[in-house]
Amino acid sequence: MTAPDPAAPYVKWRPPIHWAAVLIEVGHGRIILNQHLGAPGRFILPGGPVPPHTTPAEAAADTMLSDGPGLPDLRELVIDTTQMRRRDIHVHILATTPLTEDHAAALRPSDARAHPRILSLSEALTVLHPRGRLRLEAALDALATGQTHRLDNGMRSAPDTPPHSEPKHDALPRPRQPPTLRAAAALHTGT
C-alpha cells in the first residue's frame, strides 16, 4: 500500500462528526460556560457529541444533567461546519429559554471534567477561544434575527435554514428573546 498523495483532493470517506453545544442564559445577560478541569483557562459552551440516530436537540438536552427540570425549549441557532481532510465536523449551537438562578444552580455537566461557570456576556467573549467567540457572536445574532446561521470553515454565510438532510427544529417553539440578549446581539452585530 502506498502513502496517500498530499496533493490529492479532499475526499470525505469518513462519516461526519456532529457536536451539540448549548447557549444557556441565566437571568439577564449572563450565560453558562464550562471550564475544563484538565485545561485551566479553557472555556467552552456546554456540549457533547451527537450519537448516531440522535438529533442535535436530544444530544444538547443531555449535556447538562439536573435533578429537576432539564433544559427547556431548545432551538437551533448556528451550524458551524469545518472541513477536515477526510471528514466534516458539524457543531450545532442551540439555545434555551432563559433560566432562573435556582434552575441554573441545579444543572451540572454530564462530563465530570467540566466545571460550569456563570459569566456575563462580555466576560464570556473575553475568555472564549476565537472560534468559540465567533460561534457565540453568531448565536447572539441568530437570536436577534430569528434565523439559523451558518459558519463554514470559520466564515459566516448568509442566514438560512438547515439543509433538508439535517434534522429540522423549526417545529420547536421559539422563545421570546430577552431584552439583554437583543441588546448584546445589537452590540456585536452593529444593528
Q: Does residue 42 lie within any of the structural domains?
A: yes
Is the residue at 3 inside a domain?
Answer: no
105 inside domain:
yes
Residue closest to 32 by CA, chosen among 111, 99, 89: 99
pTM (two decimals): 0.75
Longest CA span, the chain: 60
pLDDT at position 168 is: 41
% of the chain beyond a pLDDT of 90: 49
Does 90 map to a domain?
A: yes
- Residue 4: pLDDT band (50, 70, 90) is low
Residue 19: the pLDDT is: 95
Work out the end-to-end distance of the chain between its first and last CA atoms, rounded to an integer number of angstroms: 56
pLDDT recorded at residue 165 = 41
pLDDT digits (tens, 9 = 90+) for 122-134: 999 999 999 999 9
Task: Please report whether residue 57 resides in a domain.
Answer: yes
The partner residues of 44 in beta bridges, in order of sequence, read 34
Q: What are phi and psi of 184, to 5 degrees?
A: -65, -40
Which CATH number goes with the domain that contains 107?
3.90.79.10
Q: Is residue 129 part of a domain?
A: yes
Number of domains in the chain: 1
Does residue 10 sit within a domain? no
Lowest-confidence range among 4-8, 58-62, 81-85?
A: 4-8
When pLDDT is averaged across residues 119-144 and rounded to a whole number, the result is: 94
Q: Which domain holds residue 45?
A: 17-164+174-189
